[in-house]
């Protein structure tokens, strides 16, 4: 290689590296800032729209409420993009919105029906708690019944059924956003973030690949703490998922729930999952960790996790091949009396036996609960 060619190659390498930039987010920042350490941004979604593949977004500690949803759709170009907490700081994203912040202009439609305009800023509101209790959201106006609510998307308003002619104006009311983060494109690393009190899940990985969630905390959400839907090559490492579904919600809640995995190179390691619950009428979930309906050729290593005091199973392997579960600690799970197939570690379906490997797990089952259960 000639000197000129070497120079060009080195120049291109330096240029490529220099394109990666560190940006900053802070609860005290402003979206009109440059995103630097001295002048950080405030909104997570605005930050996601501005960074490029390969960049790092450093999230300062504090509580984020007005910027609590992000759709991660930055084109990856094969480069790893990172969102991480500032060292020795804890950023907490909270999905709760007060009544005054979420809606306005209450109007009585009929004896039991009330409507209010949704604030245009919050496009992902889909959860409601009144007086501390979860209120079921129905899909159509015709389904409205006692203690339910509906979102009229055409009019951008919430419609509530409140029996007895009572007014919602003086009620303690809390709206919630859908989820804190939905990852839809590949090559992301998310670290050190806390997501809490979302209607559905804290973190969602949807139909993509090469995503790592590490050292995060996802708690008190209405669904899963960390959810993967038809994802491949995901790594869920060293996270804490707790109390998801424990205070009501749409249900199907587990600490970590990976549904229809698309490859065998998935790693769930070193996590703590506890006191998760399925609040729905189905009572099928509430597991610490669930590997659910994996696609042909999929698989996962589930190792060195601690799962305890969940309503469902410590680890649930449902219709998923090539799962290797080892060196996990499971105890005092299966606490929901409505959950069937009680067991600390449950394996369901003949497909789950293909490539299944269980070894060196430490299991302590309560009286009446089986340590390991295989069922059809």
User: What per-residue confidence (pLDDT) applies to 251?
Assistant: 85
Q: Which residues of the chain have pLDDT under 70?
A: 1-18, 66-68, 75, 340-341
Q: Please name the residues in contact with 302: beta carbons below 8 A apart, sequence gap of 6 or more.
A: 268, 269, 289, 291, 315, 323, 324, 325, 326, 328
The last residue of a domain, from among 153, 175, 197: 175
Q: Is 6 part of a structural domain of the chain?
A: no
d(CA 90, CA 272): 18
Q: What is the DSSP string of 293-327?
A: SPPTT--EEEES-EEES-SS-SEEEES-SSEEEES
Clarify whether residues 170 and 201 are in a common domain.
no
Residue 328: its pLDDT value, please? 99
User: N- to C-terminal Cα distance for the chain?
Assistant: 63
Q: Which residues are within 8 A (CB) of 10 and not within 5 positions of it... i.e. 6 or more apart?
A: none
- 344 and 201 together in one domain: yes
Examine the domain organization and report whether 308 and 238 are in the same domain: yes
| Residue 32 in domain | no
Residue 183 shares a structural domain with residue 139: no
- State the Cα torsion 310-311-312-314 to the nearest 10°: 10
- What pLDDT score was predicted for residue 8? 46
Question: Is the residue at 76 inside a domain?
Answer: no
- The answer to the question of residue 198 being in a domain is yes
Q: How many domains does the chain have?
A: 2
Tell whether 15 is covered by a domain: no
Question: 215 and 283 share a domain?
Answer: yes
Residues 109, 217, single domain; the answer is no
Domain limit, last residue, from 116, 151, 175: 175
Dihedral over alpha carbons 69, 257, 242, 215 (to 10 degrees): -70
Q: For residue 38, what are the contacts with CB-CB under 8 A and spacing of at least 6?
A: none
Indicate if the alpha-carbon torsion angle 72, 197, 113, 109 is positive or negative.
negative
Q: Say yes or no: 160 and 242 in one domain.
A: no
Are the C-beta atoms of residues 206 and 229 closer than 8 Å to each other? yes
pLDDT confidence of residue 73: 76
Do the domain assignments include residue 227?
yes
Indicate whether 231 and 330 sit together in one domain.
yes
Backbone angles phi, psi at 324, to 5 degrees: -115, 105
Closest by CA to 326, choosing from 260, 262, 269, is 269
The pLDDT assigned to 11 comes to: 44
Domain-terminating residue out of 142, 175, 208: 175
Supply the pLDDT for residue 350.
78
Tell me how many degrees the CA angle 202-146-249 measures, rounded to the nearest 5: 15
**In 10 A of CB 27, how many CB atoms?**
17
Q: With H, G, I as helix, E, B as strand and everything else as coil, classify residue 136.
A: strand
- Are residues 280 and 244 part of one domain? yes
Q: What is the pLDDT, as a whole number, of residue 53?
A: 92
Residue 369 and residue 252 share a domain:
yes
| Phi–psi pair at 22, nearest 5 degrees | -90, 125
Give residue 374's pLDDT.
92
Tell me which residue range forms the domain holding 341: 178-375
């Amino acid at each position: 290689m000639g000197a000129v060619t070497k120079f060009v190659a080195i120049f291109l390498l330096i240029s490529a590296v220099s394109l990666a930039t560190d940006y900053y987010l802070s609860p005290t920042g402003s979206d009109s800032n440059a995103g630097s350490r001295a002048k950080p941004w405030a909104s997570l979604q605005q930050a996601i729209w501005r960074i490029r593949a390969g960049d790092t977004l450093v999230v300062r500690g504090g509580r984020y409420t007005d910027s609590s949803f992000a759709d991660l759709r930055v084109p990856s170009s094969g480069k790893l993009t990172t969102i991480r907490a500032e060292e020795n700081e804890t950023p907490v994203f909270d999905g709760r919105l007060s009544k005054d912040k979420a809606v306005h202009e209450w109007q009585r439609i009929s004896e039991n029906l009330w409507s209010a305009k949704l604030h245009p800023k919050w496009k992902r509101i889909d959860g409601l708690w009144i007086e501390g209790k979860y209120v079921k959201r129905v899909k159509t106006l015709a389904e409205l019944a006692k203690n339910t609510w509906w979102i009229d998307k055409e009019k951008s308003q919430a419609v509530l059924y409140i029996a007895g002619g009572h007014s919602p104006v003086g009620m303690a009311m809390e709206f919630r956003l859908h989820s804190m983060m939905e990852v839809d494109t590949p090559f992301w690393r998310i670290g050190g973030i806390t997501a809490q009190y979302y209607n559905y899940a804290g973190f969602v990985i949807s139909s993509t690949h090469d995503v790592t969630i590490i050292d995060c905390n996802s708690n008190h959400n209405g669904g899963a703490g960390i959810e993967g839907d038809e994802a491949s090559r995901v790594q869920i490492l060293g996270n804490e998922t707790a109390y998801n579904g424990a205070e009501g919600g749409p249900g199907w809640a587990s600490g970590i729930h990976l549904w229809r995995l698309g490859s065998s190179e998935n790693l769930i390691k070193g996590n703590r999952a506890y006191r998760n619950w399925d609040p729905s009428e189905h009572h099928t979930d509430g597991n610490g960790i669930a590997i659910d309906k994996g696609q042909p050729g999929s698989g996962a290593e589930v190792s060195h996790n601690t799962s305890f005091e969940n309503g469902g199973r410590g680890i649930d392997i449902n219709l998923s091949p090539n799962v290797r579960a080892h060196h996990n600690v499971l105890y005092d799970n299966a606490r929901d009396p409505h959950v069937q197939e009680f067991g600390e570690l449950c394996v369901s379906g003949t497909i789950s036996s293909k490539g299944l490997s269980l070894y060196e797990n430490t299991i302590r089952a309560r009286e009446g609960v089986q340590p390991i259960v295989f069922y059809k």
